[in-house]
Structure 1
Amino acid sequence: MPVGDTNTSQRDGEQFVEVDPTGRYGRYNDLLGSGAVKKVYRAFDQKEGIEVAWSQVRLGRFSEDLSLINRIHSEVQLLRTLKNKYIIVCYSVWKDAEHNNINFITEVCTSGNLREYRKKHRQVSIKALKKWSKQVLEGLQYLHTHEPCIIHRDLNCSNIFVNGNTGQIKIGDLGFAAIVGKSHLAHSIIGTPEYMAPELYEEDYTEMVDIYSFAMCLLEMVTLEIPYSECDSVAKIYKKVTTGKMPQALSKVADPEVKAFIEKCIAQPRARPSAFELLKDSFFSELKDEQIDPPIRN
């Protein structure tokens, strides 16, 4: 992968530390976020003149499994074809054999992720939380009814993003989504433990794991607590989740309607409503006659 050269257009401003193979996207050194195998940097689309996010998935832990690397690449490539206003747009994907990583360029939301946004704005009405939740479910419905079906597998408040000036919500971080066939079954253990459905640990699950994770996101939105924060290790979280013990944060949900809705979403997999069914739930009835989507501006 070429490294950005200092040129006339960059001498008076920030310099790119890296550019993509086409020369269109330049990466800055500013880190927007990071995870176990991925780092997200601030970047710039020179063609369109807009800021974007540049994600790098480090393949070191998968280096012995070429088929898995190729699958990750092909799945991220498929995500480029997704077109939905509640899903982060993916503009470009490429493998960097020299540095053993996969890179992808996505849109960037103005207010960052929902976790940080919610911490910043602590006085939020239940109605506003319902608006955010409804948009997340709209995104999940799109993924789950896509051909082929797409399971996010790692939905949490750090990869749901916000445009704060419009209140628009977008699901991101689809780099490890599972593309499944007509069976809708997936088998790999991937995710953030606090948000992982019990059946995910059994390596035999469907898109209903995303509904469970959505419920944990709503729980965090309401309580400002990460689910199972009372546990000091992944092993303790695993034990609680797999034995059906609810996170302590659930007992702090004062609104009975919200609590009942969360409990509905974390029921046994076969009893869990789909995203489509949840969108029709009476929980969202007060939003029925309102415009949830941000206004279109010319």
Structure 2
Amino acid sequence: MNGVDTDQSDKDSEPFVEVDPSGRYGRYHELLGSGAVKKVYRAFDQEEGIEVAWNQVKLRSLSDDPAMVDRLYSEVRLLRTLANKNIISLFNVWSDDHHNTLNFITEVCTSGNLREYRKKHRQVSMKALKKWSKQILKGLNYLHTHEPCIIHRDLNCSNVFVNGNIGQVKIGDLGLAAIVGKNHSAHSILGTPEFMAPELYEEDYTEQVDIYSFGMCVLEMVTLEIPYSECDSVAKIYKKVSSGVRPAAMLKVKDPEVKAFVEKCLGQPRARPSAAELLHDPFFGEVDDDENDDS
């Protein structure tokens, strides 16, 4: 295999567990993260000499659901067409019939996800939090104004990723993205309960559900608390969300400007601003665009 170091006697080199059909990408054993149907491994692009992420979906867990498999393929194909500095790039995709897996290579961010990064760095200025928030909005604006419109549907701090050395954040894990045409609502319930807009449960929603989730992300960034962590079951979360009861974390927000901004994002679907409108909100008044978050 071209470029693959197979010399096991070299103790310093880490062997690849798996190599893609082209021989360009090699997967290591180290797991970077895992979800309901997907595992993400550290990997290496031998051609460019850069580390990447190897995402692997076990299709056997979906073998009774051909519609889900079709959706995965169509979404991954769509992701290959996206190009925005605040969206994780997708480099390659293929299926492995022998192991019954769908594999795709994406860029990897140096500092992991925003939830872990924020926990690690507890002393962060409001200005820095606003810079991160603005970059998430730029990614959302790109998705929402795409043709067709792309709804993420599972935006939360664990699937926003960080390059901490340059203060750059990127939206990832678009595996639940709903691809819907203009003036069409999506009709399936998926996502992370604490971050799900009430209308998601009603199965009739638009891209505005991502704005609600974004508001919850800002709340988590500011308070270091996952919204509705006071609830011990999904049923209790649903009851609060559907009746408009805000998470207890809102009481921790002392800054009235931050509270008002989060409330704006959590409003009724038709009252919620778009990502483009939020980018021009006075909340971001003193946040300068620089090379890291410029659109």
TM-score (norm 2): 0.94
Name the CA distance, whole Å, in 2 between partners of 1:268 and 1:101: 40
Name the CA distance, whole Å, in 2 between partners of 1:184 and 1:252: 37
Question: Per-residue CA shift, 1:246-286, capped at 9, x if unaligned?
Answer: 11001110100000000000101000000000001111111
Superposition map of 1:101-180 within 5 A: 101-180=101-180
Do the aligned residues in 2 keep the contact of 1:184 with 1:207 (CA within 8 Å)?
A: no
Do the aligned residues in 1 keep the contact of 2:93 with 2:105 (CA within 8 Å)?
A: yes
Name the CA distance, whole Å, in 1 between partners of 2:265 and 2:248: 17
What amino acid is aligned across from residue 6 of structure 2 in structure 1?
Answer: N
Do the aligned residues in 1 keep the contact of 2:8 with 2:15 (CA within 8 Å)?
A: no
2:290 alignment counterpart: 292
2:49 alignment counterpart: 49
Identify unmatched segments of 5+ residues in structure 1: none
TM-superposed CA distance for 1:293, in Å, is: 3.0
Superposition map of 1:3-152 within 5 A: 7-8=6-7, 11=10, 12-152=12-152
2:193 alignment counterpart: 193
Do the aligned residues in 1 keep the contact of 2:134 with 2:293 (CA within 8 Å)?
A: no
Question: Per-residue CA shift, 1:166-214, capped at 9, x if unaligned?
Answer: 1011111112211111224111111111111111111111100100000
2:225 alignment counterpart: 225
2:212 alignment counterpart: 212
> Aligned-residue CA RMSD in angstroms?
1.9
TM-superposed CA distance for 1:291, in Å, is: 3.2
Name the CA distance, whole Å, in 2 between partners of 1:5 and 1:112: 26
Which moves more between the two structures, 58-67 or 223-232? 58-67
Do the aligned residues in 2 keep the contact of 1:216 with 1:227 (CA within 8 Å)?
A: yes
Do the aligned residues in 2 keep the contact of 1:110 with 1:162 (CA within 8 Å)?
A: yes
What amino acid is aligned across from residue 193 of structure 1 in structure 2?
Answer: P
Name the CA distance, whole Å, in 1 between partners of 2:74 and 2:8: 35
What amino acid is aligned across from residue 167 of structure 1 in structure 2?
Answer: G
Q: Percent identity?
A: 74
Identify unmatched segments of 5+ residues in structure 2: none
What amino acid is aligned across from residue 65 of structure 1 in structure 2?
Answer: D
Partner of 1:86, secondary structure, is coil
Cα separation, partners in 2 of 1:10 and 1:165, compared to 1, 3 Å:
farther
TM-score (norm 1): 0.93
TM-superposed CA distance for 1:142, in Å, is: 0.2
2:249 alignment counterpart: 249
Name the CA distance, whole Å, in 2 between partners of 1:263 and 1:190: 23
Name the CA distance, whole Å, in 2 between partners of 1:148 and 1:159: 22
TM-superposed CA distance for 1:8, in Å, is: 4.2
- Equivalences, count: 292
Partner of 2:285, secondary structure, is helix
Do the aligned residues in 2 keep the contact of 1:73 with 1:95 (CA within 8 Å)?
A: no
Name the CA distance, whole Å, in 1 between partners of 2:9 and 2:111: 26
Which moves more between the two structures, 219-228 or 96-105? 96-105
1:238 alignment counterpart: 238
